[in-house]
Chain A
Amino acid sequence: DSGVTQTPKHLITATGQRVTLRCSPRSGDLSVYWYQQSLDQGLQFLIQYYNGEERAKGNILERFSAQQFPDLHSELNLSSLELGDSALYFCASSVTGLAETQYFGPGTRLLVL
């Protein structure tokens, strides 16, 4: 158990819908990352936050957005969902967000039908 929690564990929804994935980092970690894992694309970095501010952006679609709240939990919002958005979404956290171990949560498995 890494100490990073994610909810929900599983999510089934329909195309065109919007969902929100939630992540709580390890106690003391200020940086949160979101990654997507799919068979087609492998593991892809989406976005990073540090202490409430966006720090880095990866291959995040415009239909996706994220934020980190004052209590340091983060949410990833996915809208206008397409079949191809079906994937495992991981949240990871680290203390400073600089050249250190990122601890991954258990993931949210999203299925878009």
Chain B
Amino acid sequence: ELKVEQNPLFLSMQEGKNYTIYCNYSTTSDRLYWYRQDPGKSLESLFVLLSNGAVKQEGRLMASLDTKARLSTLHITAAVHDLSATYFCAVDTTGGGADGLTFGKGTHLIIQP
């Protein structure tokens, strides 16, 4: 059974600081997804990482994938309050050309002014 573990699950940080969220998964996969969810809202896609060594950046967020270590990271640079949300990583579950995602429990991020 595929397991996806995120850490930390809760993170409170100050504006202007840098931090990294880690996502480990238990089985071979080279497709890793990052989503953001605001309270009471839907999931917004942030990044899709499709190969070993993939790195993608959007604004203050940067995601990377190491398929050999089965690890993805989401790095936040100079955090701002607007980035407060819950961040999920997800891995393709089903293989064989199908794409059901197994999600981590999410990292609840609070950024304080």
Residues of A at the B interface (CB closer than 8 Å) are 2, 31, 33, 35, 42-45, 47-48, 55-58, 90, 92, 94, 97-107
Partner of A58, one of B31, B93, B105: B93
Q: Mark B5-34, 1 if CB is under 8 A from A, else 0.
A: 000000000000000000000000001010
Q: Report whether A55 and B98 are in contact in the complex, using a CB–CB cutoff of 8 Å.
A: yes
User: Which residues of B sit under 8 angstroms from A31, Cβ to Cβ?
Assistant: 99
Choose from A33, A43, A102 the contact partner of B45 (Cβ within 8 Å). A102
Residues of B within 8 A of A (CB): 31, 33, 35, 41-45, 48, 50, 88, 90, 92-94, 96-106
Known pairs A42-B106, A105-B42; A100 contacts B48 (CB<8 A): yes
Kindly count the residue-residue contacts between A and B in the assembled complex, taking CB atoms under 8 Å apart: 71
Question: Are the C-beta atoms of A33 and B42 separated by less than 8 Å?
Answer: no
Enumerate 20 A-B pairs (CB-CB under 8 Å) in ascending A order.
A31-B99, A33-B101, A35-B101, A42-B104, A43-B103, A44-B103, A45-B101, A47-B100, A92-B43, A97-B98, A100-B48, A100-B99, A101-B45, A101-B48, A102-B33, A102-B45, A104-B35, A104-B42, A105-B42, A107-B42
**Identity of the chain A residue whose Cβ is nearest the Cβ of B88 in the assembled complex:** A43
**Contact A99-B31, Cβ < 8 Å, known A43-B88, A45-B93:** yes
Bound complex: CA A49 to CA B35 (Å): 21
| Residues from chain B with Cβ under 8 Å of A99 in the complex | 31, 48, 50, 92, 99
Bound Cα distance A35, B43 (Å):
11
In the assembled complex, which residues on chain A have CB atoms less than 8 Å from the CB atom of B96?
Answer: 56
How many Å lie between the Cα of A99 and that of B100 in the bound state? Answer: 10
A102: which of B101, B102, B106 is its contact (CB, 8 Å)? B101
Q: Determine the distance from Cα of A101 to Cα of B44 in the docked complex, in whole angstroms.
A: 10
The smallest beta-carbon distance between B83 and chain A, in angstroms, is 19
